[in-house]
Structure 1
C-alpha cells in the first residue's frame, strides 16, 4: 500500500507550502507563528521515517505524527524544507527551519545541541549485506572480529554506536544518504550498510534481491533507540505544549491509520520512556 499524502493532508487539515531551500534565519518558532509565518519542518529523505513523496510533500511516520501534533495545537500553516541528513541539526541551529521531523534518534550527544520532544517511536538497527550475508555479519562486534567495513549516513548515530563497540574509523565509510549506502554495499566497497531496520527493510524491498536485511534482534537490547522531534533550545515553552498535543494524538485510531502505510505498528509505540531519560541513557 502506497502512502497517500493528499488524503493525509485532508485528514489533518494542513496548509502546506512547496518544498524550499531558503536559508533566511528567524527567531523562536512562537515568534514566527505570531508574525503569521509558516512553521518550517526540516527532514532528509529517510524512508519510512520522513521523506518527500512523489509530489514533493512530506511523507513518513515521523512527519505524520509531527503534523498531527501541530494540528492538535491548532497549527496547520506548514512549510517543508528538505536537506541532507548531516545538515539537519546545523540547519535548525542556523534558523533554516524550526523543527526537525526527520526520524532522529534521541541521543545524549544530540541533546546537547537540540531540545527533543517526548519520544514518538521505539526502534532498532540492522545491516544490509550482499545476498547470503557472505561474512556472517549481524552486529558491530562482528564487524570488529571479522575486520569488516561498514557504510552509514554522515552524522548518523550508528557511527557513534559502532565506535563504542570497537569499530575503527578505518572501517567506516560515511556517505550523504541511503542511495549511496546501497550502492556502496552492492559494489562490495563496504560489507554492511548500517541504519534503522525499517529504513533498510524498505531499501532491500526496492533493491530486487541485490541486498538483504539482517535481524535487528541480533543487536543488544541496549541498542534500542527512541525517535523524537527536535527543536531549538530556545523553544522550551513551545515544546511543552507540543508534548501535550502529541500525547493526545499518538496511539489514537486516527494516528495509527495514518502511519500504517509506513509499517509503523503498535509495537513501535514509545514505552513510557521520557526524552529526559533517553537523553541521559543513550
Structure 2
C-alpha cells in the first residue's frame, strides 16, 4: 500500500512538474512582471507605423497594437525606432519585444517571428512618374520591359519580384520610402515597389511628380496579411494578445483610432488564420 502511494505521488509530481514547465512565462511576461516597459519596434513607414515628436508611435499598425495592449491592461509602452531591415534582427537580439512596423506575414518570416492573427489584408503597388510613361502595372512589366525597380531593403517586394522573373540587376534596394521616392523622381528607377498604403503616401508628398499604379493589376499572390510580430519564446503572450484582439479588431473604438491613417473596413482581414498564411505566403 505504501509503495503504491509513493508511486502515485511520484507520478503526480512528474505531471505537476510538466504542467509547471508548460506554464513558464516567456521573456516578455517576465519583463512585464518585473515592472519594465513593453518595447515596440517600428521604422519610418507612413502610414503604417512611424515616429512623431519624441518618437511618439503613429500609424494605423501602432494604433491597433497599442489599442490591444491597452485592452489587455498594459500602458507602460516604449517606442523604439529603427530601419526596416533591423526590425526582425532587433527583435531576435532583444532590442525590443514587439514589431508593430506593418509587416506582412510570410512563410520566410514565420521561421523567425511568431505573428499575431492578421489585422489587415492589403496589396502591393508601384509609384511611377506621373502619366506612367513606361506602362508599369506589375512585376512582369518590369521583367519584360527590362526596367529598373527600386524598393526597400528587407521588403517582401524583392522576393515577389524575383518570383515573377525580375533579375537581381533590375532591383535597387534602398533603406526605405524616402529613398524610394527620391530614386523614382531622379530617374534612377522606373518604378518604386511597396505596399499600396506606402505608395499612396509617397505620391501624396511628391508634389505631383509620381502617381500610384492600380493594385488590382498585381497578381493575387501580392495581396498579403499583416500581423504584429513577437519572439517565438513569447507564445504565451501572443495567445493573450490574440484573445484581446478578437473583440478589438474592427470595433468602433479601433476604427476611430485608425481612420486618420486611411485604414477602412475594406482593409479588415478575411477569416484566414496566421497558420494558414504562414503556409501559403
TM-score, with length taken from structure 1: 0.90
* Post-superposition CA distance 1:24-80 (Å, at most 9, x none): xxx711111011000000000101110012453001110011001111111110000
Distance 1:144 1:124 in 2: 20
Partner of 1:8: none
The secondary structure found in structure 1 opposite 2:102 is: strand
CA RMSD of aligned residues (A): 0.8
Partner of 1:90: 89
Q: Does 1:154 align with 2:165?
A: no
The secondary structure found in structure 1 opposite 2:189 is: coil
Partner of 1:264: 263
Give structure 1 regions of 4+ aligned residues with deviation exceeding 2 angstroms: none
Residue 223 of structure 1 and its aligned partner are, at CA, apart by: 1.6
Partner of 1:170: 169
* Post-superposition CA distance 1:72-122 (Å, at most 9, x none): 111110000000000000000000000000000000000000100000000
Distance 1:120 1:179 in 2: 25
Distance 1:209 1:269 in 2: 29
Partner of 2:8: none
* Post-superposition CA distance 1:139-183 (Å, at most 9, x none): 000001100110111011110010000001000000001110000
Residue 222 of structure 1 and its aligned partner are, at CA, apart by: 2.2
Partner of 1:20: none
Question: Where in structure 1 are there 5+ consecutive unaligned residues?
Answer: 1-26
Question: Where in structure 2 are there 5+ consecutive unaligned residues?
Answer: 1-25
Bigger Rg, structure 1 or 2:
2
Distance 1:119 1:244 in 2: 13
Partner of 1:249: 248
Equivalent positions of 1:101-112 (< 5 A) are 101-112=100-111
Partner of 1:34: 33
Distance 1:144 1:203 in 2: 23
Distance 2:174 2:117 in 1: 29
Contact 2:55–2:81, Cα closer than 8 Å, also in 1:
no
Partner of 1:12: none
Partner of 1:189: 188
The secondary structure found in structure 1 opposite 2:136 is: coil
Partner of 1:231: 230
Distance 2:187 2:144 in 1: 19
Distance 2:121 2:275 in 1: 15
Distance 1:241 1:183 in 2: 42
Partner of 1:216: 215
Larger helix proportion, structure 1 or 2? 2
Distance 1:32 1:56 in 2: 22
* Post-superposition CA distance 1:121-152 (Å, at most 9, x none): 00000000111111100100000110011011
TM-score, with length taken from structure 2: 0.90
The secondary structure found in structure 2 opposite 1:49 is: coil
